[in-house]
Amino acid sequence: MDADSLHSDDYETYNRRTTDYGNGRIEVAAYHSPRLRRMGSRGEPSGREAETTDKAQEERTRRQIYAIRRRIKSYALCNSFRWFVTLTFDPEKVNSSDYETAKNTLLKWCRKMRDRHGQFDYLMIPELHKSGAVHFHGLLGNVPADFVGAANPKTGEPLIRHGRQVYNLTEWEYGFSDCEEIESPEKAASYITKYVTAALLTDKEMYNKKRYFNSQGLAKPAVSFGMDDNTDLDSFTPNFGIIETGTDGRNVIEIGIYNLMEDPETGALSQTDTGYLITAKTERRISPPGTGDKGAVPCTA
């Protein structure tokens, strides 16, 4: 993009992005160097008009992977999901090698569960096998469905994984189910996003198809952008950071992402998650980690 196309009305400068998940969880992304975000639509070609060669599709979907993962993480953290589930298909009941058949079966079941139980919150992601078969991983809300303790097929004893009971969902009548109660929403959010893989995004059979499915009415986060000196973050540990060496030879945190909690009464921020991953800048990126800005101005991350 040339400089002549950068109109002030089209872009906003920011060095801080705040994501409020609506339940006390706050994510703050602080940038040492200001960024530009595009305001409004750029008029990109639609899926029908876009180039559909294998190479073009691969490049396009690889650029999308972060934005899709971030969207899924937002749904996972904004909503009160109770169950992490894996739903597979019995080949004698459903041809799971046909993606459309598997997808339509899943969505039909979700509608049936909603009709049966009323509210049925879900977030589902397909996983494709090398064999061509598909199954789904997902999060379910606090639905009063029939979860029963799973048993070890060899011993008949309760099936325990990492010290926790595994359950089966008997209302999943199309195959096999593996369910666990969620203890940490943050860990569940991180785990579910891992299933949005490059293979899922670049598979030519997935062109112009949804990479995840969610129930209507799920809460979404409020995202705001602004300019700040970011000194209020000095007392916190960046849970993720990218280190860059400046022209003076000193290292700075070019991007720092903080997982924080906000007091509902005072608005004061605190940090309970002090786990961190700090990495050195290795390459130029079209949009820096943590932005999720579609069509961001090319910049160094």
Assess contact for 218 and 78: CB atoms under 8 A: yes
Q: Are 162 and 285 found together in one domain?
A: no
Q: Are 283 and 170 found together in one domain?
A: no
Domain-embedded: residue 62: no
Environment class of 17 (CB within 10 Å of its CB; exposed 0-12, middle 13-18, buried 19+): buried
Q: Are 145 and 186 found together in one domain?
A: yes
Q: Are 93 and 203 found together in one domain?
A: yes
Q: Are 19 and 128 found together in one domain?
A: no
pLDDT of residue 66: 81
Q: Helix 185-193 to helix 54-78 angle, to the nearest 10 degrees? A: 170
Domain-embedded: residue 257: no
Closest CA to 60 of 49, 51, 69: 51
pLDDT of residue 68: 87
Q: What is the CATH number of the domain that holds 111?
A: 3.30.70
Question: Domain count of the chain?
Answer: 2
pLDDT of residue 47: 42
Domain region containing 147: 80-214
Q: Are 92 and 206 found together in one domain?
A: yes
pLDDT of residue 60: 66
Domain-embedded: residue 284: yes
Q: For residues 225 and 12, what is the distance between their CA atoms, to the nearest angstrom?
A: 9
Assess contact for 32 and 251: CB atoms under 8 A: no
Environment class of 201 (CB within 10 Å of its CB; exposed 0-12, middle 13-18, buried 19+): buried
Give just the sign of the alpha carbon dihedral 115, 120, 123, 129: negative
Q: Are 93 and 170 found together in one domain?
A: yes
- Please report how many Cα atoms fall inside a 13 Å half-sphere around the Cα of residue 150, on the Cβ side: 20
pLDDT averaged per 10 residues, the chain (length 301): 55 94 94 87 45 64 78 95 97 93 96 95 91 91 95 92 95 97 93 82 67 93 94 93 85 92 92 88 47 33 24
Q: Are 189 and 230 found together in one domain?
A: no
Q: For residues 166 and 156, what is the distance between their CA atoms, to the nearest angstrom?
A: 13
**Amino acid occupying residue 43:** G
Q: Is 160 helix (H, G, I), strand (E, B) or coil?
A: strand
Which residues lie across from 256 on neighbouring strands? 30, 241
Tokens, residue 7: 């109109």
Domain-embedded: residue 36: yes
Indicate the pTM of the whole model.
Answer: 0.78
Q: Are 204 and 103 found together in one domain?
A: yes
Q: CB atoms < 10 A from the CB of 177, how many?
A: 20
Domain-embedded: residue 252: no
Query: DSSP H helical segments within the chain, as ranges?
Result: 54-78, 99-117, 185-193, 198-202
- The angle subtended at Cα 237 by Cα 34 and Cα 286, nearest 5°, is 35
